[in-house]
């Protein structure tokens, strides 16, 4: 089975990023993980959140940003991959002039119910 990125309708997750599910057990033959592309617009960031059960890998494919991972902040750019262990508060900000594109692999597969928001909605204008 294969999917094509541009054939998939995006949706917005609880953290505020735009997601295209490339593979997910709810729609595909995979069983234990999901793969999605997340896009964070230039100058924006996701809401601080954690996943109680899910381990995530973020692989940056385009743009530049700052990933907050627990108490640490790190610059990320294309080619970088970061591990986000379960229970770790995290968010990511697109700091470059273009949108930040991230391949996000989740194991077990992403579920909205596993997301715990740690802050309210972000005022996009104030964040810029």
Q: Which residue has the higher pLDDT, 4 or 83?
A: 83
What's the CA gap between 111 and 60, in Å, rounded?
21
* All domains of the chain in start order, with CATH: 19-118 (2.60.120.10)
Element (H, E) at 51: strand 49-51
Residues 12-35 have a mean pLDDT of 83
**Count of other CB atoms within 10 angstroms of residue 15:** 21
Instruction: Give the ranges where 4-70 is alpha helix by DSSP (H).
Output: none
Average pLDDT over the chain, rounded to whole?
Answer: 88
Q: What is the pTM of this model?
A: 0.84
- 26's tokens: 């709810």
Q: What is the pLDDT of residues 53-95, one digit of tens each?
A: 999 999 999 999 999 999 999 999 999 999 999 999 999 999 9
């Amino acid at each position: 089975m294969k999917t094509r990125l541009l054939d998939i309708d995006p949706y917005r997750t609880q953290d505020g990023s735009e997601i295209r599910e490339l593979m997910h057990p709810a729609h595909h033959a995979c069983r234990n993980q999901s793969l999605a592309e997340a896009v964070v617009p230039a100058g924006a960031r996701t809401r601080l959140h954690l996943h109680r059960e899910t381990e995530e890998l973020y692989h940056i494919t385009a743009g530049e940003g700052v990933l907050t991972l627990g108490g640490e902040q790190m610059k990320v750019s294309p080619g970088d991959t970061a591990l986000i262990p379960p229970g770790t508060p995290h968010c990511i900000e697109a700091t470059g002039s273009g949108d930040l594109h991230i391949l996000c692999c989740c194991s077990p597969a992403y579920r909205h119910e596993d997301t715990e928001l740690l802050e309210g909605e972000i005022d996009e204008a104030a964040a810029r």
